Amino acid sequence: MVTGAAGFIGSVVTERLIEAGHQVVAFDSLKYGHRAAVHPEAIWVQGDLRDDHAVRTALEQNQVEAVMHLAAEAYIDLAATDPGMFFDVNTSGGHILLAAMRDLRINKIVNSSTAACYGEPKKLPIQEDDPKHPVNAYGESKLQFEQQVKWHHLSHGLKHISLRYFNACGASKTRGEARDRETHIIPILLDVAIGKRPQFHLFGADYDTPDGTCIRDYVHVVDIADAHILALSKLDEIGERAYNLGCNEGFSNREVVQAVREVTGHEIPVVIGNRRPGDPARLVASNERAKSELGWKPSFTNLAEMIETTWVWRSAHPNGYA
């Protein structure tokens, strides 16, 4: 079962699982996701993670063997004003899922975690065992879920892999990023390119980086989906572990803007504004552990190529899944 299967990453995970021959139960509340994003061969269940009955029924009736958990509250910008929403879904909803899995003796989970668990890193690239001091309720709630899973592993042998990543980007041939309220840099830039926004607002150009703008890690959504599938295949062997899905080197916001200009041919007017509170200058994760232990090798490393896949999808779906 894939939770969050109607969301950006969950829909591509579902697609790749089905292409790899798995049967998939797609579980999502549709708070943010889109029914049309769910692969037609998946067994569709509309349900809320916090609804114990709905979760148990979906797992039991479909004889689920493993869970890929992507359902989450992930709008980080809301974390300062409504922290409880993140703990309600990501931590308590996660508890409901784990309790149901324990009772039904489903002992495999691949968890979509986040590099927000680390907070502001003391050194780069971030490694999995580095200190974790989240700086927002999103990161804290996702870290709390990882901690719950660890105790389920110790108490009754739940097999668990958490994949921590920063900026998922790109699109598969049929599924892409389509949010009603967008906060991610690449889709916002493409909104400018297709005329939905007049300009791009850059948060700060006075950081201690070569071009003054923040540097972030970008990983293609298909590579993320494939890491989930690799993790599933290695769960029996590995037992319990966390992996960063990073690119070792990041791209600055100005580099992202420039790459979007090259891909779209649009000038993309930029307005430089103030820094956002809590935005570290650089966030880049090491992927050495995922490479050596999972055998994960991202197929996309070139930023323009990643953006190109989003551009192709957005050009074909200017109104998303509407």
Ligand X SMILES: NC(=O)c1ccc[n+]([C@@H]2O[C@H](COP(=O)([O-])OP(=O)(O)OC[C@H]3O[C@@H](n4cnc5c(N)ncnc54)[C@H](O)[C@@H]3O)[C@@H](O)[C@H]2O)c1
Q: Which of 18, 23, 44, 48 binds ligand X (CB under 6 A)?
A: 48
Please tell me whether the peptide bond between 134 and the residue prior to it is cis, using omega within 30 degrees of 0. no
Residue 61 or residue 274: which is nearer to ligand X going by CB? 61
Catalytic (active-site) positions: 138
Work out how close the CB of 254 gets to ligand X at its nearest, in angstroms, rounded to a whole number.
20
Residue 7 or residue 119: which is nearer to ligand X going by CB? 7
Nearest to 250 by CA among 289, 224, 211, 223: 211
Token duo for residue 209? 């980086």
Beta strands 282-283 and 218-220 are: unpaired
**Residue 256 near ligand X by CB under 6 A:** no
**Residue 32 near ligand X by CB under 6 A:** yes
Q: Which of 143, 168, 185, 307 binds ligand X (CB under 6 A)?
A: 168
Q: Which of 112, 141, 213, 287 binds ligand X (CB under 6 A)?
A: 112
Distance CA 117, CA 129 (A): 11
> Which residues contact residue 247 at a Cβ distance below 8 angstroms, ignoring those fewer than 6 apart?
217, 218, 219, 284, 285, 287, 298, 301
**Residue 187 near ligand X by CB under 6 A:** no
Q: Which of 89, 96, 106, 124 binds ligand X (CB under 6 A)?
A: 89
Q: Which of 33, 94, 121, 125 binds ligand X (CB under 6 A)?
A: 33
Number of chain residues interacting with ligand X (CB under 6 A): 29
Beta strands 251-252 and 215-216 are: antiparallel
**Residue 4 near ligand X by CB under 6 A:** yes
What CA–CA distances, in Å, run from 272 to 199, 202, 208, 262, 315? 10, 5, 16, 20, 27
Residue 168 or residue 205: which is nearer to ligand X going by CB? 168
Distance CA 121, CA 232 (A): 29
Backbone angles phi, psi at 278, to 5 degrees: 80, 10
Residue 72 or residue 242: which is nearer to ligand X going by CB? 72
203 burial (CB, 10 Å; 0-12 / 13-18 / 19+) is middle
Query: Residue 78 carries which DSSP code?
Result: G
DSSP H or E run through 296: none
> Which residues contact residue 155 at a Cβ distance below 8 angstroms, ignoring those fewer than 6 apart?
none
Work out how close the CB of 69 gets to ligand X at its nearest, in angstroms, rounded to a whole number.
7
Q: Which of 18, 30, 99, 281 binds ligand X (CB under 6 A)?
A: 30
**Residue 42 near ligand X by CB under 6 A:** no
**Residue 137 near ligand X by CB under 6 A:** no
Work out how close the CB of 166 gets to ligand X at its nearest, in angstroms, rounded to a whole number.
6
Q: Which of 18, 43, 50, 196 binds ligand X (CB under 6 A)?
A: 50
**Residue 49 near ligand X by CB under 6 A:** yes
**Residue 121 near ligand X by CB under 6 A:** no
Residues binding ligand X (CB under 6 A): 4, 6-10, 28-33, 48-50, 70-74, 89, 93, 112, 114, 142, 165-168
